[in-house]
Structure 1
């Protein structure tokens, strides 16, 4: 049996068998009455902790400064410094807005900050300050320990904002979470959670966009959620509770959890759902139960949704760590169809959510008809979405992905041979089957993924997942079931067990993200004939773990422009085809949606470019440099929604690019969010060939006109 990290196992042993109910004084005020099932004692019973408000007592971890910043890369060091400054500024903003922050935690300190107590441990903070929630404002290499400390101290709500936390650290954390019933995690890589009605913010959402109101929002993308908030504010609806799931592969709180809290929340009358590629949409089961009243036995609430990544580059990781399709998962169009079948209204841009919810709430009370939301424009959007070429949902996906480290196939074969596995190129003989070790996002655990065929042979055959606990390891008793699904005979079971154990061992020891193989059976023996191995580069960047695997990276196999952009923290993906509109966007979700929404009105994006939520004027200039290397580009479309990113800073970055790069291409700029008026004014008064817009469709139309 394969295991990992004995210290974490001891924690499981201590907590196993003593799962407690949520009936202690440390609960959030609304969580005591919340229950979604007849049984008690599991992680699901912490969903009620998401209901925050005026009485929610909040502490900050990483309140005053930083510890242990040696041996981190420059990008992470900048992030650490940013988080340290932001924690204090964020606390001041949140307190002024009404958030009940009662203190903070900084290891080794027992002092005051902003007139509030600072304690050396979360456990001591729980005893003396009795918080209902903690916001974790530390960088990725420190975040796992901070989250674990909060779980062990039994903080009811834990909000983690850090990006690039190693995947295996999150797998271990989820294994911990599912052995207890006290703590609920939001994040990681999350903008946080905010109650506009209760004036409680735990995160870094742009407060000027929010207004107390009727719409609950749950989103994978921070920037898209800000767009949705601004849209519902402009429509006069406002927001009740907004939950940022975060863009990581493993979200502490999922769509189905948020939908349950919204359905029980009297402040929430309508729901906005913002998803993207990646993951299996289990929330369709809950939505279906609302429609039939067969489970909850209460009226359903109208839902409007947008799904980013309809035009995602096949086989690529689109900015967010979790924005990619694992074997057996549906693509964006499949998710859209399932939502439509459940009666959910689909929009193609978050700026349309305000009018969509206004129509749904005004015309039909609390029942969604699923009709198009904005007349002709929405019908047009859905029509073009249906006729686009369908992005393939592969059972096997050997295309070169980018986000983690993907190694050459011959190097993957070497790793298998070192473990006694027969591996070489396919000779053309034998039926190919697929076997992989990946992540089960529904169960928040590693899993075996198996299919009796590869996508080249039988594309209709679905891969099946066999999850196992990260700490306990793979259970050999699953092998006969996997063998049956793979349609393997008795003599091959022993060889299958050897292959699975080797893959699982490699997955755990080297912090893999996906180990995917195709194999053939020859006289009871299994031979691997294809290998697509991905490893988590965050483990190397954040903590310098897995240096031997990181050394297998071959820069010459990658796009030179993408590698150059990566040095500046920019995620750039050159799209295939004849796209002629260069896109420059802050935020992975917004970048995906920009490509989709441009396609809906007849435009063709040449690239995906996410400057990141921490974009600066210099980053914008470097983004222009990358885009200008693509000779297909005739116009550059800058689409920025400011949260942490300031509109005037982006505008100055655009002017800097014009001055230093001697720009010859026209540029269309749409700036919304924080300091949007200042940014738009800078663009309008620059005297340069810039075109400033507030409305997305107007901006997109201008970009298409100029590209033509």
Structure 2
């Protein structure tokens, strides 16, 4: 057996007690160190807040609102500046002078990693990063920096990489806690402290704690608890990126201990293991607690397209990760009341707090309208037989360069991917199509989201869900054998191939390098000659933010083949719109309801809840958190390109996006697209900031075929009714 000394084996499918106590790539000592910072999430009137990037436009507007609300902002940092801003000190470095308890990082995505590192080095107790599109590998560096020299030495049949420097930041210190990146922030309604950009009209002192991946879902949850007369205690937005400094379980640990929190709402979504970890933690919490706090959850992405990034950078399933439906089932099994729309949080929690029980039945976490074949799928339609956790959580195309604003990732198709691997010196089979499927094995490099570290997935078949599949941490400390079957494990180039993939992953800033390999013997070398692993298939995914924010990897992103993509999806990108066709890429005509939503989490959830109401969405469309009237008009144009659409549902929750501005965009669209929209009814549901003004604009427009609601269930029922009438 050949050994790769940079790898530690972990079994994918089962959760063990040992796994719950430790994680690969991160020692238990390091975990305890970072866990010591959990207490820093308990913000309130006592919290001294500074802003990094204090004098910027966004930070200035946010600081004014937050201070008026009661947040104790004591100053800020702007490099090279010294003086006053908003009547508060602004300094090149404010830590020693202002002694902050928390910092809000309001700088551009490419500047954010350095700002985070600066705050960690200064031991600021709480760091809140709101920026979107921070390159994945920059955040990976913040979580755990590893540099490897290219010094490789042969030792028998193995290969050793000697570390030049291993430096951990977050995970090896006990002073600073990171929230984010791509987070709406953290807000204490009881303590009147906001570090982020949550819509303040939704937040009033109360008893419900919220922990959420999605900003818009958390705003909906807050508004629902407010309408139910419950209000909120503490709301923690962990963010929608692939990696986060604070997870759902971290938020739960704080909320169950918080005296002002009587009930908890969780907003989860497709991607990663956080919801599965939360389910396991809740099961243990309920078993050891006499009167556990009631917990309700929503999980967006039941109808997500396998392999597509659904708005948020982390909203997709990597190989062997669970799909959204598996997360729903795990939470239900843990005793969580799972709902299918955040507007239900208030009524359900009010019922639970009164001592009554809620049945996980119709309309609560159901999947009606979703074909059975689509209910359990992850990347590449891997069919998961049960929720999968890594050991630690239990645990030829025409190249063209394009500048886009909304794309989250780049996938290279098979032929372009194989060409790249050849150019990088990897061993690709001369005739990959002639290699039988039974001889091929899975070998992939990706991210373990639970440990914020690189991992390698290997399987003796081409499936990551195979019982013999293993995940390996690339931690440079111990070694194990990659399980690729007898021939694969005997292959003389196995260690080198693994290291080459790791090098490509880090040097080109990938988030997934998924290959099929086959052990092939050279017939000229005789029967006892060692086999050689050759790559027969490749599916490679690269982080778009590396180019957009970091201005790196232009050569990789120039390989994008626009001709192979849907023209409507491509046309939406320059306007900041994330648009994905549903229903077999537009081939299924039963998907006939167009959706227009602001916010990725809410857009995913709208598609799911619409299915539960008996409708089938034709698309996922996220206008973005800062949609304008022109963006809304452009969204209508994109949706109307799909001939399947019989009716359109507009679901807007105003946060940064104002309800009246969206309403004006809808009216503008009706006037400019009169011919097309004359035949397509539009149902509009507006909640949140300036909701009354927006609803009035719709009602006063007098436009035929335009229906306004403030309740989602009523809006969904109406759009299904209108669609059925036209089918």
Would you call these one fold, judging by a TM-score over 0.5? yes
- Find 2:622's aligned residue among 610, 623, 644: 610
3-state DSSP of counterpart to 1:543: coil
Go from structure 1 to structure 2 and tell me whether the alpha carbon gap of 1:530 and 1:392 turns closer, same or farther (over 3 Å shift). Answer: farther
3-state DSSP of counterpart to 2:366: helix
3-state DSSP of counterpart to 2:123: coil
Match for residue 408 of structure 1? 413
Q: 1:278 touches 1:325 (CA, 8 Å); kept in 2?
A: yes
- Find 1:282's aligned residue among 277, 280, 283: 277
Equivalent-residue separation in structure 1 for 2:370 and 2:575 (angstroms) = 37
Match for residue 179 of structure 1? 172
Match for residue 547 of structure 2? 540
3-state DSSP of counterpart to 1:178: helix
Match for residue 46 of structure 1? 37
Equivalent-residue separation in structure 1 for 2:504 and 2:381 (angstroms) = 19
Go from structure 1 to structure 2 and tell me whether the alpha carbon gap of 1:402 and 1:427 turns closer, same or farther (over 3 Å shift). Answer: farther
> What are the superposed Cα offsets for residues 360-390 of structure 1, whole Å, 9 maximum, x if unpaired?
11116xxxx6633xxx7536x6372797544
Q: How does 1:191-202 map to 2 (within 5 A)?
A: 191-202=184-195
Q: TM-score, normalised by structure 2?
A: 0.83
Go from structure 1 to structure 2 and tell me whether the alpha carbon gap of 1:669 and 1:383 turns closer, same or farther (over 3 Å shift). Answer: closer
For the pair 1:59 / 2:50, whether they are aligned, the reply is yes
Match for residue 371 of structure 1? 359
Go from structure 1 to structure 2 and tell me whether the alpha carbon gap of 1:102 and 1:395 turns closer, same or farther (over 3 Å shift). Answer: closer
For the pair 1:382 / 2:366, whether they are aligned, the reply is yes
Equivalent-residue separation in structure 1 for 2:499 and 2:30 (angstroms) = 35
Q: How does 1:2-151 map to 2 (within 5 A)?
A: 42-65=33-56, 84=57, 86-121=58-93, 125-151=94-120
Count of matched residue positions in the alignment of Structure 1 and Structure 2:
632
Q: Which runs of 5+ in 2 are unaligned?
A: 7-27, 145-168, 384-396, 398-405, 522-530
Q: 2:208 touches 2:231 (CA, 8 Å); kept in 1?
A: yes
Match for residue 155 of structure 2? none
3-state DSSP of counterpart to 1:327: coil
Q: 2:446 touches 2:511 (CA, 8 Å); kept in 1?
A: yes
Go from structure 1 to structure 2 and tell me whether the alpha carbon gap of 1:564 and 1:129 turns closer, same or farther (over 3 Å shift). Answer: same
3-state DSSP of counterpart to 1:279: coil
Q: 1:186 touches 1:244 (CA, 8 Å); kept in 2?
A: yes
Equivalent-residue separation in structure 2 for 1:248 and 1:668 (angstroms) = 31
Q: 2:594 touches 2:619 (CA, 8 Å); kept in 1?
A: yes
> What are the superposed Cα offsets for residues 67-97 of structure 1, whole Å, 9 maximum, x if unpaired?
xxxxxxxxxxxxxxxxx2x211111111111
Cα deviation, residue 459, structure 1: 5.4
Q: How does 1:602-681 map to 2 (within 5 A)?
A: 602-662=614-674, 663-664=677-678, 665-681=680-696
3-state DSSP of counterpart to 2:172: coil
Q: 1:87 touches 1:137 (CA, 8 Å); kept in 2?
A: yes
Q: 1:328 touches 1:462 (CA, 8 Å); kept in 2?
A: no
Q: 1:395 touches 1:451 (CA, 8 Å); kept in 2?
A: no
Which one is further off, 174-183 or 320-329?
174-183
Match for residue 465 of structure 1? 471
Q: 1:648 touches 1:682 (CA, 8 Å); kept in 2?
A: yes
Equivalent-residue separation in structure 2 for 1:495 and 1:701 (angstroms) = 59
Q: 2:307 touches 2:379 (CA, 8 Å); kept in 1?
A: no
Match for residue 223 of structure 1? 216
Match for residue 134 of structure 2? 165
For the pair 1:234 / 2:227, whether they are aligned, the reply is yes
Q: 1:333 touches 1:390 (CA, 8 Å); kept in 2?
A: no
Match for residue 443 of structure 1? 451
Equivalent-residue separation in structure 2 for 1:454 and 1:701 (angstroms) = 43
Cα deviation, residue 462, structure 1: 6.7
Match for residue 722 of structure 2? 706
Go from structure 1 to structure 2 and tell me whether the alpha carbon gap of 1:351 and 1:395 turns closer, same or farther (over 3 Å shift). Answer: closer
Cα deviation, residue 491, structure 1: 6.1
Go from structure 1 to structure 2 and tell me whether the alpha carbon gap of 1:382 and 1:396 turns closer, same or farther (over 3 Å shift). Answer: closer
Equivalent-residue separation in structure 1 for 2:29 and 2:467 (angstroms) = 36
Equivalent-residue separation in structure 2 for 1:465 and 1:103 (angstroms) = 46
Q: How does 1:472-487 map to 2 (within 5 A)?
A: 475=476, 477-478=478-479, 480-481=480-481, 483=482, 485-487=483-485
Equivalent-residue separation in structure 2 for 1:383 and 1:104 (angstroms) = 48
Equivalent-residue separation in structure 2 for 1:442 and 1:652 (angstroms) = 43
Q: 2:348 touches 2:358 (CA, 8 Å); kept in 1?
A: no
Equivalent-residue separation in structure 1 for 2:186 and 2:418 (angstroms) = 44
Equivalent-residue separation in structure 2 for 1:463 and 1:624 (angstroms) = 45
Equivalent-residue separation in structure 2 for 1:686 and 1:463 (angstroms) = 59
Q: How does 1:388-537 map to 2 (within 5 A)?
A: 388-394=372-378, 403-424=408-429, 425-429=432-436, 430-455=438-463, 460-461=466-467, 463-468=469-474, 475=476, 477-478=478-479, 480-481=480-481, 483=482, 485-488=483-486, 492=490, 494-523=492-521, 524-537=531-544
Q: 2:323 touches 2:378 (CA, 8 Å); kept in 1?
A: no
Equivalent-residue separation in structure 2 for 1:504 and 1:597 (angstroms) = 40
Equivalent-residue separation in structure 2 for 1:338 and 1:623 (angstroms) = 36
Cα deviation, residue 636, structure 1: 1.1
Q: 1:572 touches 1:609 (CA, 8 Å); kept in 2?
A: yes
For the pair 1:685 / 2:700, whether they are aligned, the reply is yes
3-state DSSP of counterpart to 2:304: coil
Equivalent-residue separation in structure 1 for 2:99 and 2:75 (angstroms) = 10
Equivalent-residue separation in structure 2 for 1:605 and 1:491 (angstroms) = 46
Equivalent-residue separation in structure 2 for 1:415 and 1:382 (angstroms) = 43
3-state DSSP of counterpart to 1:282: helix
Structure ranking higher on relative contact order (CA contacts 8 Å, 6+ apart): 2
Q: 2:264 touches 2:295 (CA, 8 Å); kept in 1?
A: yes
Go from structure 1 to structure 2 and tell me whether the alpha carbon gap of 1:160 and 1:641 turns closer, same or farther (over 3 Å shift). Answer: same
Q: 1:41 touches 1:180 (CA, 8 Å); kept in 2?
A: no
Equivalent-residue separation in structure 1 for 2:51 and 2:372 (angstroms) = 46
Cα deviation, residue 290, structure 1: 1.2
Which one is further off, 659-668 or 194-203?
659-668
Q: 2:594 touches 2:645 (CA, 8 Å); kept in 1?
A: yes
> What are the superposed Cα offsets for residues 417-475 of structure 1, whole Å, 9 maximum, x if unpaired?
234322132314352211111110000111112222223xx95537432223xxxxx52
> What are the superposed Cα offsets for residues 622-670 of structure 1, whole Å, 9 maximum, x if unpaired?
0000001001111111100010000000000001111112222211110
Cα deviation, residue 695, structure 1: 0.4
Equivalent-residue separation in structure 1 for 2:277 and 2:545 (angstroms) = 28
Q: 1:60 touches 1:134 (CA, 8 Å); kept in 2?
A: yes
- Find 1:213's aligned residue among 195, 206, 227: 206
Match for residue 596 of structure 2? 584
Which one is further off, 183-192 or 173-182?
173-182
> What are the superposed Cα offsets for residues 333-367 of structure 1, whole Å, 9 maximum, x if unpaired?
11111111111101011000001101111116xxx
Equivalent-residue separation in structure 2 for 1:646 and 1:44 (angstroms) = 38
3-state DSSP of counterpart to 1:421: coil
Cα deviation, residue 522, structure 1: 2.2
Cα deviation, residue 397, structure 1: 6.1
Match for residue 291 of structure 1? 286
